[in-house]
Amino acid sequence: MFTTLVAAALVALVSADGIPDFVVPGRCAKVANQDKFDLRRYSGRWYQTQIIDNAYQPYTRCIHSNYDYSDSDYGFKVTTAGFSPNNEYLRLQGKIYPTKDFPAAHMLIDFPTVFAAPYEVIETDYETYSCVYSCIDWNGYKSEFGFVFSRTPQTSGPANDKCASVFRKNGVDFALFNDVAHTAECVYRA
């Protein structure tokens, strides 16, 4: 059911505007998901330090998120913020949560103005890094995004090194990832 819904959304998007730049020939990597994923330990502040460029994120630098775990929702209320290319501070709020169809580390992104997409935690130690993959494929095309999250806003460090290895091991081309700038002008209010 979920795959059909996502495929229909992708077809509608492609039909409405032509093929977007982020839809390319290929299939999604079959990534492993974190074993025994602990949602409570995953909560808190995360900084995006490297990403595969994502047209659905309006920000390009100082990107950070606060994951607020909720027992009643069995998932996270997420606030993500950062600066746009026009130097405007932007904030979006949404939810990321597991579904009954997949293990807990394979969640669903549910933000306004963005169609639902997978959020797969490939690996995390909860304290320093999280390697996240989001990809939808259909009819020989894919829309692929990847995220390196760190508990600190460093564009070089253990999170990037660890996730580079993890993504490569799972068949994701780490050369597609770009640094997310975290400079002295960053404001972290998410």
Helix (H, G, I), strand (E, B) or coil at 187: coil
Q: What is the pLDDT of residue 18?
A: 64
Query: Of 80, 97, 95, which is closest to residue 190 (Cα–Cα)?
Result: 80
Q: Which CATH superfamily is domain 39-179 in?
A: Calycin beta-barrel core domain (2.40.128.20)
Rounded CA separation 113/126 (Å): 29
Q: What is the pLDDT of residue 83?
A: 95
Non-local CB neighbours of 79 within 8 Å, separated by 6+ positions: 65, 66, 68, 91, 92, 93, 190
Q: What is the pLDDT of residue 177?
A: 96
Q: Where are the domains of the chain?
A: 39-179
Q: What is the pLDDT of residue 6?
A: 43
pLDDT category at 134 given cuts 50, 70, 90 is very high
Rounded CA separation 83/147 (Å): 17
Copy the structure tokens of residue 79.
Answer: 């606030």
**3-62: per-residue pLDDT in tens?**
443 444 444 444 445 666 777 789 999 999 999 999 999 999 999 999 998 877 889 999
**138-174: per-residue pLDDT in tens?**
999 999 999 999 999 988 889 999 999 999 999 999 9
CA–CA distances in Å: residue 123 to residues 55, 71, 134, 166, 169: 24, 22, 13, 7, 11
Q: What is the pLDDT of residue 82?
A: 96
Asked if residue 1 has pLDDT above 60, the reply is no
Note the Cα 8 to chain centre separation in Å. Answer: 21
**How big is the chain, counted in residues?**
190
